[in-house]
A and B are shown apart, each in its own frame.
Chain A
Amino acid sequence: MAYTSIIDWITGVYSQHGWADPIQANPYYPFGDAYNLPYDLGMKLWNIIGGAIAWLLDLLFPGNDVSTWLVCDMTNNIFALVLFMVLVFAVVFVACLISLWEERKVLGRGMDRRGTMIGMWGFLQCVADGLKTFMKDNVFSKKVDGMTYWWTVALIIGTSVLIDCMVPLSPRWFVVNYDAGLLIIMGLYALAPFFILVSGWSQNNKYSLIGGIRAAEMMISYEVPLLIIIATAALLAGSLNIGDIVMAQTKHFWYVIPMFVGFVTFMICATAESERAPFDLAEAESELVEGWQTEYGGMKWGLVMLADYLRGACSCGIIVLLFFGGWNLPFMEWTYFLGDGIASFHQNFMWWFPAPELTFLLKAWLIFFVMIAIRLGTGRVRTDSILNLGWKVFMPLSILNLVIVLIFKLFIGGVF
């Protein structure tokens, strides 16, 4: 290709014939035959950025190989993957900040105060808080067990970011598209208790130790009903693939109708799983100072907090996927945006508009509102009653939910 003008590179992406087919035109496309919007956006972004750099280099040193390398297919794909990751994380991060802002505002109004007030109805307060934790000194106790202290918190934050990024926002906005997608998310979700337990031990602090043990015992016991309900939903849909579960709901009805018991159980279990009030006994402030986070200060604390909210947002996302029809509205698919085939993607003028993704996020924020409302009205539950609840109430309830679904499936049939 000739490096005559930067306009070429911009128009090269969008030629007279419309958008180049991102899958057919790309020999190294990593997502098989599924269209991926963030990857596509990343590719186009790199086409512009990399193309501009290549053009500039070529202008200065005509005929160099770096310019050619920057715009070859292989390099395009590698940089597109990097941009894809950044994009996916940015969206998850902003969505998480919005849920944080939502929580602070709703809690504030429910308590007869204003909540955050700095910029954009208080949204910039979250950003300011994040920046503040960046500026904090990195303080840690001399007597902590160094390796576990650092690695566990990194892993807790890492897995939390990972699971939230793995929740697909739509059939075109995903990281991986496995058939067992939900199980992978739950599997990564279930890693946290071990890290928290070890992290609580490594801090050489009695509060952290008790907090870590509490977190571990609670999360382990609440994972069982969660998984049972996920299996029930998969049973209804006939697949563990998230896309299939959502499509089954769009075709028939939202699964909150047959699985209402399961929804309530899942909601409470997910609240417990993401350590939110009233199940925040691992960081029970009144007795355990900050629980297992006691010795983490500054940016570590900020990231742990972010991880907490990421887990909360992830729980809400899974609830939306399982019970509320994911990114689709009832009886309606976003065919205009999602298309029924890959070829028609770029035919629409508004192909880039994230309507399904926004639908999904709005639903998730609504679910998060319910979680906030629960936090508004409840106190902290005691350790023994939490375990009692988990094993003696929610576990049977999830089984009951399974039985109800089985009865539906056996005797009503039809739509199931």
Chain B
Amino acid sequence: MEHDRRTYWRSPEALDGPAAEPAHPLHTPERFANRRDFLKAAGFTIAGAAVSSCSRAPEQRAMPFVEQPDDLVPGRSYYQTSVCGGCSAGCGVLVQTRDGRPLKLEGNPGHPLSRGGLCAVGQAATLGLYDAQRLTAPRMDGDTSTWAAVDQAILAEMAAIRADGGAVRVLTGTLVSPSLLDVVRRFVATFSDAVHLQWDPLPGSATLEAHLRTHGVRAQPRLRLERADVIAAFDADFLGTWQSPVQFAAGYRDGRTLDAAPRRFSHHVQVESRLSLTGARADRRIRLAPHAVTTLLHAVASRLGELAGGETVLPPPDMDAGIEAAAADLADRLWGARGRSVVLCGTNDEHAQTVVNYANHLLGAYDGVLDLAAPSRQVQGDDGAVDRLLEEVAQGHVAALIVAGVNPVHQHHRGAELARALSRVPLTISLAPRLNETAAATRFVCPDAHPLEAWGDAEPVAGILSIQQPAIHPLGDTRPAIETFSVWAGEGAAAQDLVRAYWETAVFPRQSDHDEFLGLWTAALRDGVVAVSHEIVPPSPFDSAAVRAPAVEAPPAGHFSLVLYPKVAMLDGSHAYNAWLHELPDPVSKVVWDNYASLSLAAARSLNVATGDMVRIEADGVEAIELPVFVQPGQDDSIVAVALGYGSVLSARFADLGPRWIGSRVERRASDLVGVNAAPFRPAGSGSTSRVVRVAPTGTRQKLASTQDHFRLEETGSVRQAMEDLPPLIHETTLAALDAGGDRGDADHGGHGTGHAEPGLWPDDHAHTGHRWGMVIDLASCTGCSACVIACQVENNTPVVGRDEVSRSREMHWLRLDRYYTGSDDAVEMAVQPMLCQHCGNAPCETVCPVVATVHSSDGLNVQVYNRCVGTRFCENNCPYKVRRFNWFEYAREQPIENLALNPDVTVRSRGVMEKCSFCMHRIQETELEAKRQGVPLADGLVQTACQQSCPSRAIRFGDLNDPDSAVSVAMADPRRYHVLETLNVRPAVGYLTSVRNREEL
């Protein structure tokens, strides 16, 4: 049979001849290896690798000491007193050191100001110690150098300046260390024309200047909120960021105790333009535009003048009826509690501050609540210092400029000008520990040591002194500022000797408790604080002639007032290198890793923008900035609020932060920096407080990572409708209702008691025969300051995930602060509820784990066993409180030195493992074992969780629920106690005490 001779083709190219036919993808012509060879090679390689890796685990070395140090037990933690160097508040700390490594800072309970609390920034300081990008050696003309070479060059130039009488300027922040101040003074005295300038990035000199005018002393009175019954705060975020928040929160809490007898509960009115943490806590919050805040302050003071009688010092301002009524009401309330009431104002305007002083003078605040005899030294700066410096540089006067502790190129509104001016000064030196904007513009960088590496001291309030003790040998070749100035002053003493000498000559004569200096020194080291007498500059009688009505000016139509504020975590931006602080959700906005233009709902509507839309902020004479919008309820419609401290070169390191996996890359932006620097928009001079700006949408968008809608507990949709009668997630009441009902005053909520009477799905198989650990969080005390969140992160080795991952709802914090809004936009209120694992008696997570990796322990903990977990995430799904966190990645810990910050008592979790709050069970075990070893019973209060220890307002109680006398059992029996989602009958071990506001109606 004849074969079919037709050709079959599949593509036109085939007609051109066999060579042109496209090859089958699996039949490409052989070059070196075909698929079979590849598989063969792969198989052999894997087999070979498997065989050769079959050996025992790598040999581990156990390195002992050569010389056994006295009193050092390996594996045990030691605590020493010191001073937190995070800001100039000078809080007392205990440094936990283990096997030579400082691991955590805790508040020193014996310190009379901070009283055991420590804020988020202070908690995060250990990451700064182990920062791999800290300078490890001095720099000269852009290159790494040695101290000998740098000192030789600097001393030679200084000698020349001394010889020809050139001007030397030393620019620092507020120096809260008296011994450093003393050395700087001695250094300055070696020149014929040298001046030490103090300048604070967060300005506050108006208060000092106002007191100079009204009382004849340039001083900042010590604020004792524990003595106040009525507090009226005008734009002063004293619980969040203003001056010394830990100290103020401790005092504020003491003025609001429901469990003490006699009961005290202050009334706090907050008048502000943006929603601050303090405003959220206030009993009454009045939302006003910045200029109207000043008007109301003026009106209150005038009204107080009327009530006090006598001559009219301050005529009332022009105001509308609403402000007049509010002023009358507020003034009456303050006047009714005179002697125990105070007016606070965060506005950096001298005239407004004289009005504040006038009001406080009338109220008798200077007799108790405000202490001008023992003033605070936490804010000493002079706002005009940098401006005057710039003038002098422009005139060519300055021969040498030394900058320490501040970063004016980034933080000052004329920073760019200063950077240029620095090149005209022959000798410029920065003492910055990192290569920040100012250090990059100076010829010499002489890195200061970390506060945990150096001797120092602090006197935050006159007569209250602490010593800063080093906890570790310097990790790099850095030198404490005090030694550096001493070398340049021609003394060259060590920091310890300098501090000791100062204490011996200047502090020892101020006390009579100790006959010998060693006694004082030892007591100061042991207790962390000593109280000594201090020089009293008697204030002159109040000078009412100095009181000036502040100028007020509303922004023209179509413009906004720009309100620049510090964020709880970022403050002035000097900690912009700290990943923990960037990832800490802002307690109000819940945004991480960015600053943004906050607009009220109405303002956003008027501009037709939503959260994430970019806007351009413009003002005359300043380069415009572009920021994403964040719509913030509770904010005044006429303002746009932007956080300071962002856009620092120190944050460039985070451009690539985030786990990398196949096919994914961290989203890059135009700028590597985190956020945008808003400092150029700071109002010049201290007369005006806010700047008028134009805001226009750019039409582009930029994603903001916010945790505000993550891990919601509330039901939505049809489920919500079906469960309408459920109690709210957070309980709030008023003091009046509490007095009337004697219970939590929450009418909606049925069923009190423990909830144990209700039948459950689960058998009662948890005997809890020994201890049963539990926690109660008092929401009447909690301010939402977020110190606990960082404390938990430091203690429990929680990784940082970065902006991209947070936007995917993958943040790892074990403890979060749930924030709820209530009310309409013009009278919005905010409430905060810390949410952590509730350690349920009937835990829904335990029943669904297929590998029993999460179980109930005999002492009432819901434990997560990481080495057993296989990562099904069923538990996360079944947790009604949404407190479980899944490790999606092996979060990068690329810098070995940064791993030194890890707590060796807590497992570092790996990829694919679920984790959650453990009630700090390593702390429970350590305390239990030590009590057992010493043969003493485990006393109530000995076990403290990390969050509880850090809390400045002591809102958290932790202890044994099986002990009826323990503080936590007493709190559990409080009528204000409720459980979140109590109707689920999961029997949580965490209780909450209803938040209380001191007013008539909710």
Whether A associates with B in a native complex is no
